[in-house]
C-alpha cells in the first residue's frame, strides 16, 4: 500500500488519482518545496524489464529538459526499493478524453484553441529532438482555466524500445497510431503530426475515425482506409478546418505537414473569411499506395535493431573470409591433438593408481548444524575443513528464522575433507497468501481454513444484499501473507437484506414518498388518484401493504393519492322579471338600475342601467356555486322596487 509512504524521504503519497497500462498516478506532497505534485509509479511488470528501466530513466531525464507551458513539467526521476517513479507537475483538471466526453459538442473555435496549444508543445519537443510517439487524449490534460498540457514524454519514448509484442504495446494507443508505427516502423515527428490529426478529428466529432474488434483490425484501418470526413458528423465544420485533419492524417508521411509549426500556422488562419470555403484538400495519388501492405497479426513483434542481419552479395561477407582462414589451420592441428591425448591418458592412469594414496584428503563427518545460527554454522564448517556452498532459505515450522534446518550432504555422512556443504536456512514459518473470499459460502471457507491450521476462524453478521451466509468482507485483507497457526481470521457474513418495516404513508406528499423510497429502496407506485374531501391534493389516502408490514428492498408499495376536493360546477338559474312604467306625465323616461350578485357579479356596481318609457320584461341569468346564494335588486328612479335572494337549487 503506497498511500502514506514517503518516496526518497521527500514525496509523501496522498491519494491515487489515476492509472493506466504502464503506471499508476498518485497525488503527493513535496515536503521540501511545500507543493502538490503528481507521482507516476511504473507497474511492477515494467519495473522487471532492465532494458526498459534503463531507457526509461534516460528518456525521462531527457524529457526534463522540455520547458513549455503546454508540457507537463518533470521535476524528478528516481527509484526506491524497485519502485521507479517520475515526479511531475500536478494539473488539477481533466484528461482531454474526459473533457471531450463531458463537453461534446465542442465549438470549432475551442477546438482550434486546444490544437494550437498542442502543436506548440509538440513543436517545442521536436525542436529538442524528442518525439512523443504516443499522443492521445488520455496523455493530454486540461486544467480549469482551459490550459492544455501534454504528459508522458519519457514513458512513451521508453516504451518504444521494450520487448513487448507490437500488439500489446499499442493496445491503448492504436486508435491514434500512425500507419508507419502500425507497420512496425520507426516513429518520427510526422508520426506525432498524424496522432494530432486523429485527436483533432475526435475533438470535432466526439468520436474516433476507426473502430474494430481488435487492436490489429484498427491498425489495419489506419494502414488501408481513408479517414472519414469530420463533416459527416458535423456539417458546420468549415472546409478549411477539415482540410487540416485530412492533411495531418495522410497515409504517406511525406504528404503530411512538414512540421508542427506548419500545422499551427494552418490552424491560426483556418477561420479567416477567405479560407472558410476553400476547396477540399486532395491527397496526391501515390503509386506506392497500391503496393501490398504487410499483414499484422497478434504475434507480430517490434524488431530490435540488434536483430537486423546484413546480407552481403553472393552470400559472402566477413564470416566467409574468416571461414577460409579456419580451413587452412584445420590441416595442422590433428597430429598435435593425437600426441596430446596419449600423454593425457598416461597422466590419468597415474592419477588413479598412485596419487590418491599419496595426496588423498582425510575423511571427516558432516556435523549436525540443525538449529545453529548461520554465522556459527559457517564457522564450524570452515574450521572442520569443509567448503561452504550455497545457502538456501526455505520455510520451516520447527526451526526459527535465520537458523540452519539441514545440510547437504546430510549430517553424519562421512566425506572427504574439502567437500562442499550446502546449507538450508529457515525463512520462518511457512506462510500462505490469503485469497479474496468475498462472495463465497462462509461454511465452506471455514471448513477449508480450519483444515489449513488457522488459529481461529470467526464471523460477524451484517445485513447485506448478498444471500444469507455469503462472505462480504474479511480481515486480514486479501493478498496478505500469514502464518496459519498464528493467525485469527474474521469474516463479515451476510444474513441477507435487512427487513424494512413499512411506515404509515397516509398524509405523505409526493416529495415525502420519493425521499422515503430512496432511503429504503422500496418501489412506490401510485396506482390511483381520486377526489377526497378530507385529504389535501397530492397526499396519500391509502396504501398496500398495511403499515408495519416487513418488506425487502425492491418490494413494491401501492398508494392511492388524493386529487383534493371534487369541484362541483355552479348551476345556472334564470329569473323573468317585469319592470312597471308609472311615470307622470306619461312619456317621461324612468331610470332603471339592475344589480346582480353571483359567482361572476357583485352588488357594488350596476349590472345594467337603462331608461324606460313603458313597462318592460327582463330575463336575468345567475351562476350559483354549491352551498352559495345569488340575488338581484332593481332600482327605479333611485327607489328599490325589487330585491330577491335566490338559493342554490338542490334539485335539477
| Whether residue 586 sits in one domain with residue 466 | no
Mean local confidence (pLDDT), 303-331: 39
Q: What's 592's domain CATH number?
A: 2.60.40.2560
| Whether residue 226 sits in one domain with residue 116 | yes
Select from 247, 281, 315 the last residue of a domain: 281
| Whether residue 634 sits in one domain with residue 507 | no
Per-residue model confidence (pLDDT) at position 172: 43
Angle at 308 between CA 305 and CA 314, to 5 degrees: 155
pLDDT-derived band of residue 163, with 50, 70 and 90 as boundaries? very low
Per-residue model confidence (pLDDT) at position 300: 38
Q: Is the pLDDT of residue 325 over 70?
A: no
* 256 neighbors 244 (Cβ within 8 angstroms): no
Per-residue model confidence (pLDDT) at position 367: 94
* 28 neighbors 36 (Cβ within 8 angstroms): yes
pLDDT tens per residue, range 240-279:
999 999 999 999 999 999 999 999 999 999 999 999 889 9
What span, in angstroms and rounded, lies between the C-alpha atoms of 561 and 538? 6
Q: Which residue has the cell 507497420?
A: 183
Q: Is the pLDDT of residue 148 over 70?
A: yes
Range scoring the smallest mean pLDDT among 13-17, 338-342, 544-548: 338-342
Burial status of residue 324 (CB atoms within 10 A of its CB: 0-12, 13-18, 19 or more) = exposed
Of 618, 617, 610, which Cα lies nearest the Cα of 589?
610
| Whether residue 398 sits in one domain with residue 415 | yes
What does the mean pLDDT of the chain come to?
83
Q: Is the pLDDT of residue 32 over 50?
A: yes
| Whether residue 152 sits in one domain with residue 250 | yes
Per-residue model confidence (pLDDT) at position 579: 95
Per-residue model confidence (pLDDT) at position 393: 78
Per-residue model confidence (pLDDT) at position 55: 65
Per-residue model confidence (pLDDT) at position 512: 94
Burial status of residue 479 (CB atoms within 10 A of its CB: 0-12, 13-18, 19 or more) = exposed
Per-residue model confidence (pLDDT) at position 594: 96
Mean local confidence (pLDDT), 5-34: 85
Q: Is the pLDDT of residue 170 over 80?
A: no
Per-residue model confidence (pLDDT) at position 63: 72
What span, in angstroms and rounded, lies between the C-alpha atoms of 29 and 9? 11
Cβ neighbours, 10 Å, residue 225: 11
Q: Does residue 321 lie in a domain region?
A: no
Per-residue model confidence (pLDDT) at position 336: 57
Q: Is the pLDDT of residue 542 over 50?
A: yes
Q: Is the pLDDT of residue 545 over 60?
A: yes
Per-residue model confidence (pLDDT) at position 345: 54
Mean local confidence (pLDDT), 203-232: 88
| Whether residue 393 sits in one domain with residue 265 | no
Q: Does residue 314 lie in a domain region?
A: no
Q: Does residue 127 lie in a domain region?
A: yes
Per-residue model confidence (pLDDT) at position 406: 93
Q: Does residue 301 lie in a domain region?
A: no
pLDDT tens per residue, range 559-600:
999 999 888 889 999 999 999 999 888 889 999 999 999 999
Per-residue model confidence (pLDDT) at position 388: 80
Q: Does residue 557 lie in a domain region?
A: yes
Task: Return the SS3 of 129.
Answer: coil
Select from 89, 111, 126 the last residue of a domain: 89
Domain residues for 540?
500-562
Domain count, the chain: 6
Percentage above 70 pLDDT, the chain: 82
| Whether residue 545 sits in one domain with residue 406 | no
Select from 246, 281, 316 the last residue of a domain: 281
Q: What's 438's domain CATH number?
A: 3.30.10.20
Which positions are annotated as active-site residues? 134
| Whether residue 386 sits in one domain with residue 238 | no
Rounded-to-10 torsion of CA 171, 175, 180, 185: -10
| Whether residue 123 sits in one domain with residue 74 | no
Mean local confidence (pLDDT), 73-91: 88
Q: Does residue 641 lie in a domain region?
A: yes
Q: Does residue 632 lie in a domain region?
A: yes
Q: Is the pLDDT of residue 126 over 80?
A: yes
| Whether residue 367 sits in one domain with residue 414 | yes
pLDDT tens per residue, range 502-524:
999 998 999 999 999 999 889 99
| Whether residue 583 sits in one domain with residue 551 | no
| Whether residue 62 sits in one domain with residue 164 | no
Q: Does residue 576 lie in a domain region?
A: yes
- What number of residues does the chain have? 652
Per-residue model confidence (pLDDT) at position 218: 86
Amino acid at each position: 500500500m503506497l498511500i502514506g509512504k514517503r518516496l526518497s524521504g521527500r514525496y509523501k503519497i496522498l491519494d491515487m488519482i489515476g492509472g493506466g497500462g504502464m503506471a499508476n498516478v498518485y497525488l503527493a506532497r513535496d515536503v521540501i518545496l511545500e507543493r502538490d505534485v503528481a507521482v507516476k509509479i511504473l507497474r511492477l511488470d515494467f519495473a522487471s524489464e532492465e532494458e526498459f528501466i534503463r531507457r526509461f530513466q534516460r528518456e525521462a531525464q531527457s524529457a526534463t529538459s522540455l520547458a513549455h507551458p503546454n508540457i507537463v513539467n518533470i521535476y524528478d526521476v528516481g527509484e526506491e526499493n524497485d519502485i521507479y517513479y517520475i515526479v511531475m507537475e500536478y494539473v488539477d483538471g481533466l484528461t482531454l478524453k474526459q473533457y471531450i466526453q463531458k463537453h461534446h459538442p465542442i465549438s470549432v473555435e475551442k477546438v482550434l484553441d486546444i490544437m494550437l496549444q498542442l502543436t506548440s508543445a509538440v513543436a517545442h519537443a521536436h525542436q529538442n529532438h524528442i518525439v512523443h510517439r504516443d499522443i492521445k487524449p488520455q496523455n493530454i490534460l486540461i486544467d480549469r482555466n482551459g490550459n492544455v498540457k501534454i504528459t508522458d514524454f519519457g514513458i512513451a519514448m521508453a516504451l518504444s524500445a521494450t520487448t513487448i509484442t507490437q500488439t500489446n504495446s499499442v493496445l491503448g494507443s492504436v486508435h491514434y497510431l500512425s500507419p508507419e508505427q502500425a507497420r512496425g516502423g520507426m516513429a518520427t515527428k510526422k508520426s506525432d503530426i498524424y496522432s494530432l490529426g486523429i485527436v483533432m478529428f475526435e475533438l470535432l466529432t466526439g468520436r474516433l475515425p476507426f473502430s474494430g474488434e481488435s487492436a490489429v483490425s484498427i491498425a489495419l484501418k489506419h494502414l488501408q482506409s481513408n479517414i472519414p470526413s469530420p463533416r459527416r458528423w458535423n456539417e458546420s465544420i468549415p472546409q478549411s478546418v477539415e482540410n487540416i485533419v485530412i492533411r495531418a492524417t495522410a497515409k504517406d508521411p511525406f504528404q503530411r505537414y512538414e512540421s508542427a509549426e506548419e500545422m499551427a500556422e494552418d490552424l491560426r488562419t483556418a477561420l479567416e473569411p477567405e479560407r472558410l470555403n476553400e476547396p477540399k484538400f486532395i491527397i496526391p495519388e501515390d503509386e506506392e499506395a497500391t503496393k501490398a501492405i504487410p499483414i499484422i497479426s497478434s504475434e507480430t513483434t517490434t524488431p530490435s535493431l540488434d536483430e537486423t542481419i546484413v546480407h552481403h552479395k553472393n552470400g559472402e561477407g566477413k564470416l566467409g573470409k574468416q571461414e577460409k582462414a579456419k580451413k587452412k589451420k584445420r590441416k595442422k592441428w590433428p597430429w598435435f591433438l593425437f600426441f596430446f591425448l596419449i600423454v593425457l591418458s598416461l597422466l590419468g592412469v597415474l592419477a588413479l593408481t598412485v596419487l590418491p594414496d599419496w595426496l588423498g584428503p582425510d575423511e571427516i563427518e558432516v556435523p549436525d548444524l540443525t538449529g545453529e545460527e548461520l554465522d556459527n554454522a559457517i564457522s564450524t564448517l570452515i574450521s572442520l575443513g569443509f567448503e561452504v556452498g550455497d545457502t538456501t532459505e526455505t520455510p520451516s515450522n520447527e526451526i526459527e528464522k535465520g537458523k540452519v534446518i539441514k545440510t547437504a550432504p546430510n549430517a553424519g555422512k562421512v566425506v572427504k575433507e574439502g567437500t562442499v556443504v550446502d546449507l538450508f536456512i529457515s525463512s520462518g514459518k511457512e506462510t500462505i497468501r490469503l485469497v479474496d473470499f468475498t462472495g463465497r459460502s462462509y461454511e465452506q471457507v471455514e471448513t477449508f481454513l480450519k483444515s489449513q491450521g488457522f488459529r481461529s476462524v470467526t464471523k460477524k453478521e451484517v445485513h447485506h444484499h448478498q444471500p444469507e451466509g455469503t462472505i462480504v468482507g474479511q480481515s486480514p485483507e486479501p493478498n496478505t501473507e500469514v502464518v496459519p497457526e498464528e493467525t485469527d481470521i474474521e469474516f463479515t457474513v451476510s444474513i441477507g437484506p435487512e427487513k424494512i418495516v413499512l411506515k404509515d404513508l397516509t398524509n405523505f406528499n409526493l416529495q415525502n414518498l420519493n425521499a422515503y423510497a430512496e432511503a429504503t429502496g422500496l418501489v412506490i407506485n401510485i396506482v390511483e388518484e381520486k377526489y377526497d374531501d378530507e385529504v389535501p391534493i397530492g397526499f396519500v389516502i391509502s396504501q398496500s401493504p398495511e403499515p408495519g408490514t416487513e418488506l425487502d428492498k425492491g418490494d413494491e408499495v401501492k398508494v392511492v393519492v388524493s386529487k383534493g376536493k371534487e369541484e362541483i360546477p355552479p348551476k345556472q338559474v334564470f329569473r323573468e322579471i317585469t319592470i312597471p312604467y308609472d311615470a307622470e306625465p306619461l312619456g317621461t323616461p324612468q331610470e332603471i338600475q339592475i344589480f346582480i350578485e353571483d359567482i361572476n357579479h357583485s352588488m357594488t356596481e350596476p349590472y345594467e342601467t337603462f331608461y324606460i318609457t313603458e313597462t318592460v320584461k327582463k330575463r336575468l341569468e345567475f351562476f350559483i356555486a354549491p352551498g352559495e346564494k345569488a340575488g338581484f335588486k332593481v332600482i327605479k328612479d333611485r327607489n328599490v322596487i325589487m330585491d330577491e335572494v335566490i338559493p342554490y337549487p338542490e334539485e335539477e
